[in-house]
Amino acid sequence: MSKNNARALDIKNGCIEMSHGSGGRAMAQLIHELFTATFDNSYLAQGNDGALLPQAGGRLVMSTDGHVISPLFFAGGDIGCLSVHGTINDVAMMGAMPLYLAASFILEEGFPLIDLKRIVESMAQASADAGVPIVTGDTKVVEKGKGDGVFITTTAVGIMRHDITLSGNLAQPGDRILVSGTIGDHGMAVLSQREGLNFDAPIVSDTAALHELVAAMLDSGAKLRVLRDPTRGGLATTLNEIAKQSGVGMLLEETAIKVNPPVAAACEFLGLDPLYIANEGKLIAICAAEDTDKLLKVMQAHPRAKDATIIGSICEDPHCFVQMTTKLGGRRIVDWLAGEQLPRIC
Amino acid sequence: MSKNNARALDIKNGCIEMSHGSGGRAMAQLIHELFTATFDNSYLAQGNDGALLPQAGGRLVMSTDGHVISPLFFAGGDIGCLSVHGTINDVAMMGAMPLYLAASFILEEGFPLIDLKRIVESMAQASADAGVPIVTGDTKVVEKGKGDGVFITTTAVGIMRHDITLSGNLAQPGDRILVSGTIGDHGMAVLSQREGLNFDAPIVSDTAALHELVAAMLDSGAKLRVLRDPTRGGLATTLNEIAKQSGVGMLLEETAIKVNPPVAAACEFLGLDPLYIANEGKLIAICAAEDTDKLLKVMQAHPRAKDATIIGSICEDPHCFVQMTTKLGGRRIVDWLAGEQLPRIC
């Protein structure tokens, strides 16, 4: 306990050891040489138990998200950028601008430092691209077999810049439902990687930060009621949540819901329904009917929503059913995801 | 995927299943019947991806802490109340008043719901006692063998109410070092539980929220430079961190550092040094010499610091050594914790 530990962190060959979580010199070294150096901002450099931040000029928004995705690396991203995007998006869906992120790491003994470095660099890049710094953090280590490489919980604080309230309980009959692009990309990218499936065309996760798209949508002045990102449970489950919260029904048009052809093919091959597959870079918007065209134009003009479509409308329904007119012209109920479809997708 | 799942959550006999993390009906039920019902506040009841909060009238503080303690239940507390206290204390040590908590759960498949309920109730009680609501949360599930029961990451947001900056780099030669009470209680309580050790006198964790003690200390007007809670790595490591950050040395008096007799006996039996054992309800204060007596009186008048003592002073030292005059009158260097002493203590 009294010996010095002066050697530098061996990123190339080293692994996480229990001592990296014990609060002593090894932990200080890991934090200093990897996390603080890579995330590199003045808040984190304060070096205290938390970050001291400026006063925020608006109502606060706070959201947290644990990330346990398996595998850690997949086509289009990794747990690092995903953990930044996912939590930024939760704040954005409230109609708020994300300002700061906190990151908590639960590392498994034996996890290669080179992989951790890659994840941390991916987080730092996503954070820089989004303009939302990681201002404070925490590192814990669990014994081999008591974790799974790395779990990352990120928490975001944001502020409301508009005098608007978006909430899952505000959808009204007559409102239109829009989706910002193709569905199912993230979930099928992860599943393909996990199962070692190779399809002719590559499937790439859509993981992306959506706060700038949301800012453009809010700036349009369109009467938005609800924004939600259809992650776990996919489009179908998220729409059912909103229908239940608002006490309304929904009518969807299957032909208006876009699915990338490789995703559609993979879903068909595996017997999965893309309506239930997770997305990490798409949003659902529910908007007053009269403003729908204006909103759609703003969305389609933004690089993150160029494939946006109107997929249906809100109706009165005491049962809060989500129904869909199928490609063949029939109508079916689109229920909640029950049971597990794809575990550890985010 | 289209079947209803209408049975109520079987808290008494049920276990966490993968479906509780999949974003569908089972997850909604777990969140609604256990988390939202127990934490019970208007922010959480908003039911969105995050919480919409009032504007905060001061500089913000943000802190995050992952909790992986093993065992989950120990004398004096459990992972639930610990996860509330730990993060509240990190915000308090910045000199800020904690306002809101976010909680992210990573649950292992097969974890008994009855244990989860006990943990969630303990969190709710600690949150209510502290007056800091849990306003938003997240739940993930990992396969059996990929986690360890439950990990909880809590993140707190607070505001600075005083025009003061506390930071680990502000200790100055001549300042005094105070500790709010006995050391080593938390770590030894957990270790005793883990190893199945029975000592004659029970050892109980000191886990507690310290924000009200800190408020009283700040209200005293004493010139505080640094507050820090000596958790992982214990008093010795935390003092070394401060010494390094401030570029100063420290001189401690061993006779002034209080250790509960059962903790001292257990440490001696196990060959451990209480200076390196984690605390979860104690703080270190570094204060201008002329205000020390005033501060000590305020601390001793507070129930969380009635055993507070002055344990030493800051001195000039380019090597940033922490030295201690021992009970026998000698002097020794008190180094950082190197390597691992007690893994998963918080």
Tell me the two tokens of residue B135. Answer: 């306003």
Quick one: pLDDT band at residue B23, thresholds 50, 70, 90? confident
Average pLDDT over every residue of B156-160: 97
Q: B247 in contact with A at a CB cutoff of 8 Å?
A: no
How much is the average pLDDT of B270-286?
96
Which of B221, B204, B179 is CA-nearest to residue B74? B204
Interface membership of B2 toward A (CB under 8 Å): yes
Region of poorest pLDDT, from A91-100, B119-128, B199-208, B333-342: B333-342
- Measured between alpha carbons, how far is B222 from B297 in angstroms, rounded to an integer? 11
The domain ranges of chain B are 18-160, 176-333
Rounded to a whole number, what is the distance in Å from the CA of B59 to chain A's nearest CA? 4
Task: Write down the pTM of the prediction.
Answer: 0.96
Is A168 touching B (CB cutoff 8 A)?
A: yes
Question: CB distance A52–B341 less than 8 Å?
Answer: no
Higher pLDDT among residues A336 and B136, named by residue? B136
Q: What is the ipTM of this complex?
A: 0.95
Is A135–B62 a contact, with Cβ atoms under 8 angstroms apart? yes
Q: Residue A293 is which amino acid?
A: D
- Mark yes or no for CB contact A148/B136 under 8 Å: no
Model confidence pLDDT, tens digit, residues A114-163: 999 999 999 999 999 999 999 999 999 999 999 999 999 999 999 998 78
Torsion of CA B104, A153, B127, B119, to 10 degrees: 50
Is B102 close to A62, i.e. CB distance below 8 A? yes
Tell me if chain A has a CB within 8 Å of the CB of B194: no
Angle between helices B211-219 and B292-300 (to 10 degrees): 140
CA B132, chain centre distance (Å):
14
Bridge partners, residue A103, by sequence? A137, A154
**Is the Cβ–Cβ distance between B34 and B135 less than 8 Å?**
no
Domain A18-160 sits in which CATH superfamily?
PurM-like, N-terminal domain (3.30.1330.10)
At B8, list the tokens. 């109520």
Q: Name the minimum distance, in Å, from the CA of A219 to any CA of chain B.
A: 20
Same fold, A18-160 and A176-333: no
Cβ contact, residue pair B23, A90, below 8 Å: no
Contact B90, A46 (CB under 8 A): no
C-alpha A128/C-alpha A83 separation (Å) is 13
Q: Does domain B176-333 have CATH number 3.30.360.10?
A: no
